[in-house]
Each structure stands twice: as structure tokens, then as C-alpha cells.
Chains A and B, each alone.
Chain A
Amino acid sequence: MSAVASHKKPPRVGDGPVFRRLLIGIVLSLGALLILAPLLVIGHEAFKQGVKVYTSTLNHPDTRHAIMMTVITALIAVPVNTAFGVAAAWAITKFDFRGKRLLLVVIEIPFSVSPIVAGVAYLFVYGLQGLFGPWLDAHDIKILFALPGIVLASMFVTAPFVARELIPLMQAQGRDLEEAATSLGASGWRTFFSVTLPNVKWALLYGVVLCNARVMGEFGAVSIVSGNIRGQTNTLPLHIELLYHDYQAAGAFASASILALLAVFTIIAKVALERRGAGRRKAQATDAVSTGH
């Protein structure tokens, strides 16, 4: 078949040259406008007044404290939500019990609820006028306007991430592997660590990465429960907002660049993970083909 002849073939569905160029053009320009431009602005604004201003902003105690708060929150919320996600995925995919569908819906709620609603809800549960407020106050336990509140709100918002990655995969894998391992004499823990975990590790890591990104970036829920006390209960996103409202644009953008950097690292990690997962699957598939039957 000559090249000329192949040019004469009618386009397949949505394959016309005009349509194709139009579509690609729209996507590229929108991508540049909506995603790339703001990121570039952050970099530009952060360094506009020189590297010195940039580093001095980052060295400011309030900024460093905000970074610390964000990191500590992530260090607590991500492992807890990972454990929750694994447990929930295991329960839903490997057991049959009443209320299974309900649990699936409950896990999804944080995705559909605005984070600000979660924050307000926490206020009503743990606040002074709230459900447990008087009791907590009497026992001198501070949850709101302190780290525990921030961690709780972050955990609420990011609860579904790990479970959502794991459930479809573990559902597709079924129970055969675990049943096989158990029939061979493996204990529950042994089955989990030797059989289940190795088969879901890429999805699990992906979920953890996404969960981490969201914890570090969470604004709405945290802003309600933290009380925005500078140098005490400010996380990085809250700190950025505060700086911005104080007309400290350079500081705000410098802090934002840290957050953006964290996000970029997260994306790189995610792509690397996906590529590893895909590469492995591909290698197995080609091996299987070359071996034949």
C-alpha cells in the first residue's frame, strides 16, 4: 500500500485533520492558560525582589513554623489514612457483611462534601458549644484551634484517597489469592504481607502520594478549625493566605512556591510510580507472548 493511497482513506471517527488540530490547539492553549501560567507566575513573583527576599521570607519563624505544622500534619494524617484505606479496602473486597454498600458510600462522602462543611461540622462536635465541647474543656483537652483539630480535619478530607485507589484493584483481583495462601497454611498477617500487599503496592503508593498532596494543600476545613493563629496553628496554605491579605505578596508567593514544589515532587513521584507499574506489566505481557503456549 503506497503512502498516496493511504492519504486518500476517509478519516475515522473524529479523525479529520481540521478537527484534530482544533482539539489539540484548544487543549494546549487552555492547559497553558489555566495550569502553566499560574505556576510560572508563582515562580516569577516569588523571586521578583531577588533571592535575598525569598530566602528571608522562608527563614521567617512564622513561615518555618507553618511548614513544620504542615509536615507534622502530613506525618500523622497520611499514615492513619493509609491504614484506614487498607483496612477499608480489605474489609469491602474480602468480606461479606451487612452495611457493605453503606460503608462504600460513607467513604466517598469527603469527596462530595465541601471541606468547609467538614470544618464547620468539626466546630460543632468539638467546639466549646459543641457536642463534646464542655467535656473536653473540663478535661483540659484542646482539639480545636490546635494541632489535633488540624489533623482531624485533614484526615476527614483525605480519608477516601487510599481506599479509592485500592478498592477497584482488589475487587478485580478477587479473593482467590488470599484463599490459596490460607489453604496453604498462611496466617492472616502472612497472607496480607506476602500475597495481598505485593499485588497492590503500586496502587497503594499512588494513593498515599495523592493523599499526601491533598493533606499538605488542604485549606478550607483546616482554616475553620485552626483559628489561623500566626506562628501557632497556621499551616502553609493558611500562612500564604495570611501573608497575601497582609499585602506581603513576595512572602505569599515564596511560601506558595514551597507548596508548589511539594506538588511538583508529588507529581513526579506519581508519574515514576505509574511508569514502573506499567513497565512491569508490559514486560510480563511481552514475556508471556514470546513464551507462547
Chain B
Amino acid sequence: MEIRLDNVIKTFDTFRAVHGVSLTVESGELIALLGPSGSGKTTILRMVAGLEYADGGHIYFGDQDATDIPVRDRGVGFVFQHYALFPHMTVAENIGFGMSVSKVKRSKAEIAARVNQLLKLVRLEGLGDRFPAQISGGQRQRVALARALSVDPKVLLLDEPFGALDANVRHDLRRWLREIHDELGITTIFVTHDQEEALDLADRVVILKDGKIVQQGTPQEVCRDPKNAFVLKFLGDANRLIGEVRDGQARVAGVAVAAADGVADGPAEIYARPRDLDWSAAGPGVSATVSRVLDRPGERRVIATASTGELLEFDVDPERDITAGDTGFVTLRRAKVFAI
């Protein structure tokens, strides 16, 4: 089902959490609301669910105005960051809860059959008799998802679904959620502050800041063509250099990079990812002194201080022999230029 937000506003006391957000989520789409804490992403999700009421604007489910439909009747599946499983019920009872309270009466056998089907979907067959405290965090979140799906929701909403899990489990669950989504084709919105998670999982990423949408697009669009410095920085580590744009060329300490069309001549910010910087012992480039080297599984991250005073971070091959105190030159292979 298509979900449409039209100029939605939410204010808590005096704090305006969401400033007129308009957004269309197409039927069957998997979309990520990405932003730092306080950007209003969770509030938007909760308004779509009906857990918060919008102070202004409208939320449409298909052609129906759902703005004032209470959460109970809205037909959404909501997955909480901390699972919110009922601790006194078994896994099977948790999953069956929505069906047992439904206005549509089902027999016990029907519910049990559907619960088993859902347990199979989330790959937890045989764990139906366990209590939430007896299973792992990753398993709990899968139960929470099965429970949310049990009511055949029009839209699936996930609030930082993997935030409380450790890195490896998170990685696996991410892939698995994508598989489930592709299998069921249910319209899904999830909230995250983890850019990697958003880019990994979503068809489209909506980047929020201070209760407003900054940019939305496919992972490719937002990565390759960030609209402003905030989006660029939020999506990943970046070095910031101050330079000068002239005739479509940005210059910083003798190094030139092409600026996008529309960047006017004058002072500019130049952003480059750590992988887009090269290091050489001899010039040309910005001269810099290595202050630290951080070893990582796939590369070595070098932190260096440029002669212009900026701190630069760049990656070199694992074999590269480089230590603190070395001096050399940094060149930019690729960069984004924004007018100041």
C-alpha cells in the first residue's frame, strides 16, 4: 500500500520535532529514514503508526486519510528497538497475540497454524514454547517481526530494529530482513541512525535533519550526488579542506579538482573521502605530517596534519610502511565541492 505524508508537523511542548515533512512511499517499497538523534525520524515513524498524532498535515494509506485513525485500527505492524515482547508469554503466544485480540475471530487451531507458519518464516521453528528471556537478542527481534506480521499489516514499521544487537548479528539480520521483504512485498519503513544499514537495506533513503527532509533518493543517488555537506558527512567519513573555485576548478594548496556545475567562483569547501586521498613521499600535493596510524582489517587509516592546519584522514594499503612523524604529500583523486 502506498503511504503518503503531506506536510506533517509535530511539536512536543515547545520543541518542534517535525517541520512539515512530505514524503511518498510507494507500494512494496523498502525505505529508510536516516538521521542523527533528534532529527525527527522516530517521531515520523510513530506518526505513521498512529502512536503519536500529527499536529498538522495528513497521512494517507492509499487513498484513505489515516491521520486520525487510532493505532489499534490502523493496521500497521510495528517493531520496537527493544523488541517489546510480552515477557510473560511464550514466543508462540507473543506471535499469536494479535490474532487472538483481533475483531476477526479465529479458532485456536487456525491461530496455531498461522503461528507455525510465521515461526517458519522467521526461521525459529521449535522455539515456540520458549519465553523471550530464554532466547537471544537476534531471535527476539525475529519474534517481534513475526508478531508484527501476524496481523497482516498494510505497512511494516521498524524503529531502529537492529540497534540493540551486536555487529555480526546485525549484519545477518539486515540481509535476512531484505529477503523477507522481497518475499512478502510489504511496504516497509525503517528508522536508523546507521548510514551503512540504511544504504545496505533500503530501496530509497530519506535523510533527515532537524525535523526536515534534507535529501531523498536511492542509495546510489545519495552517495554519488549528496545535496549538501551535511548529507555527505553523515553518509561517511570525509575530509574538509577550504579552497577557491575559479572557472569550474577548485584549488587547494596547489591541487586542483573539478567542481560541479553551479558552484560559483569564490571560497569553497572541498570534501574528499579517506579513500580518495593519495599519499606520496614526494610532491606534488598538500604537504602533511603523519600523526597516527590506525590499523584496520582491510587498510591502514592514516591521520595527518596538513601544512594548512587541517586534520586529514586517508587510507593506504595494508602493506604500506608508514609511521607517525613521516612527512609527505597528499593529493585528491576525487572530491565534492560546495560553495561556502
Q: Check if A293 sits within 8 Å of B136, measured CB to CB.
A: yes
* Known interface pairs A284-B131, A287-B134, A293-B136; A185-B80 also in contact (CB < 8 Å): no
Chain B residue contacts of A172, Cβ below 8 A: none
Determine whether A194 belongs to the interface, using a CB cutoff of 8 Å to chain B. Answer: yes
Determine whether B72 belongs to the interface, using a CB cutoff of 8 Å to chain A. Answer: yes
Q: Count the B residues whose beta carbon is within 8 Å of the partner chain — how many?
A: 35
Interface code B59-84, partner A: CB below 8 Å = 1, 0 otherwise? 00000000000011110111010101
Determine whether A129 belongs to the interface, using a CB cutoff of 8 Å to chain B. Answer: no
List CB contacts (< 8 Å) of A167-182 with chain B: 176-177, 179-182
Q: Count the A residues whose beta carbon is within 8 Å of the partner chain — how many?
A: 23
Interface code B16-33, partner A: CB below 8 Å = 1, 0 otherwise? 000000000000000000
Chain A residue contacts of B151, Cβ below 8 A: 184-185
Q: Check if B101 sits within 8 Å of A284, measured CB to CB.
A: no
Question: Could you show 5 A-B contacts with beta carbons less than 8 Å apart?
Answer: A176-B82, A180-B85, A183-B71, A185-B151, A291-B136
Chain B residue contacts of A195, Cβ below 8 A: 86
Q: Check if B72 sits within 8 Å of A186, measured CB to CB.
A: yes
Q: Check if A184 sits within 8 Å of B82, measured CB to CB.
A: no
Alpha-carbon gap, A3 to B220, bound state (A): 67
Closest 7 CB pairs of A and B: A184-B98, A176-B84, A293-B136, A284-B133, A180-B84, A186-B101, A198-B88
Among B50, B73, B78, B151, chain A packs the most CB atoms within 10 A around the CB of B78
Alpha-carbon gap, A176 to B97, bound state (A): 15
Determine whether B135 belongs to the interface, using a CB cutoff of 8 Å to chain A. Answer: yes
8 new A-B contacts, CB < 8 A, other than A183-B76, A287-B134, A292-B136, are A180-B84, A180-B85, A180-B86, A184-B101, A185-B102, A185-B151, A186-B101, A291-B134
Q: Check if A288 sits within 8 Å of B51, measured CB to CB.
A: no
Which residue of the partner chain, among B135, B137, B147, contacts A184 with CB atoms under 8 Å?
B147
Alpha-carbon gap, A212 to B267, bound state (A): 77
B56 to chain A minimum Cβ distance, whole angstroms, is: 19
Chain B residue contacts of A179, Cβ below 8 A: 51, 71, 78, 80, 84
Chain A residue contacts of B77, Cβ below 8 A: 183
Alpha-carbon gap, A182 to B98, bound state (A): 9
Q: Check if B97 sits within 8 Å of A181, measured CB to CB.
A: yes
Determine whether B138 belongs to the interface, using a CB cutoff of 8 Å to chain A. Answer: yes
Q: Check if B86 sits within 8 Å of A177, measured CB to CB.
A: yes
List CB contacts (< 8 Å) of A188-204 with chain B: 190, 194-195, 198-199
B69 to chain A minimum Cβ distance, whole angstroms, is: 12
In the complex, which residue of chain B has the Cβ closest to the Cβ of A280? B88
Chain A residue contacts of B150, Cβ below 8 A: 184
In the complex, which residue of chain B has the Cβ closest to the Cβ of A195? B86
B160 to chain A minimum Cβ distance, whole angstroms, is: 12
* Known interface pairs A176-B82, A177-B84; A182-B72 also in contact (CB < 8 Å): yes
Q: Check if A180 sits within 8 Å of B80, measured CB to CB.
A: yes
B85 to chain A minimum Cβ distance, whole angstroms, is: 8
Determine whether B87 belongs to the interface, using a CB cutoff of 8 Å to chain A. Answer: yes
Chain A residue contacts of B50, Cβ below 8 A: 183
Among A183, A186, A194, A291, chain B packs the most CB atoms within 10 A around the CB of A183
Which residue of the partner chain, among B72, B85, B138, contacts A293 with CB atoms under 8 Å?
B138
Alpha-carbon gap, A187 to B100, bound state (A): 12
Chain B residue contacts of A190, Cβ below 8 A: 101
Chain B residue contacts of A287, Cβ below 8 A: 131, 133-134
Alpha-carbon gap, A176 to B72, bound state (A): 14
Determine whether B245 belongs to the interface, using a CB cutoff of 8 Å to chain A. Answer: no
* Known interface pairs A287-B133, A291-B134; A185-B82 also in contact (CB < 8 Å): no
Determine whether B115 belongs to the interface, using a CB cutoff of 8 Å to chain A. Answer: no
Alpha-carbon gap, A45 to B96, bound state (A): 60
Determine whether A285 belongs to the interface, using a CB cutoff of 8 Å to chain B. Answer: yes
In the complex, which residue of chain A has the Cβ closest to the Cβ of B135? A291
B139 to chain A minimum Cβ distance, whole angstroms, is: 8
Q: Check if A183 sits within 8 Å of B131, measured CB to CB.
A: no
Q: Check if B103 sits within 8 Å of A185, measured CB to CB.
A: yes
Determine whether B49 belongs to the interface, using a CB cutoff of 8 Å to chain A. Answer: yes
Which residue of the partner chain, among A185, A198, A285, A288, contacts B72 with CB atoms under 8 Å?
A185
Alpha-carbon gap, A288 to B76, bound state (A): 30
In the complex, which residue of chain A has the Cβ closest to the Cβ of B136? A293
B88 to chain A minimum Cβ distance, whole angstroms, is: 4
Q: Check if A182 sits within 8 Å of B71, measured CB to CB.
A: yes
In the complex, which residue of chain A has the Cβ closest to the Cβ of B147? A184
Alpha-carbon gap, A176 to B86, bound state (A): 10
In the complex, which residue of chain B has the Cβ closest to the Cβ of A183? B78
A125 to chain B minimum Cβ distance, whole angstroms, is: 37
Q: Check if B49 sits within 8 Å of A183, measured CB to CB.
A: yes
Chain B residue contacts of A187, Cβ below 8 A: 72, 101
In the complex, which residue of chain A has the Cβ closest to the Cβ of B87? A199
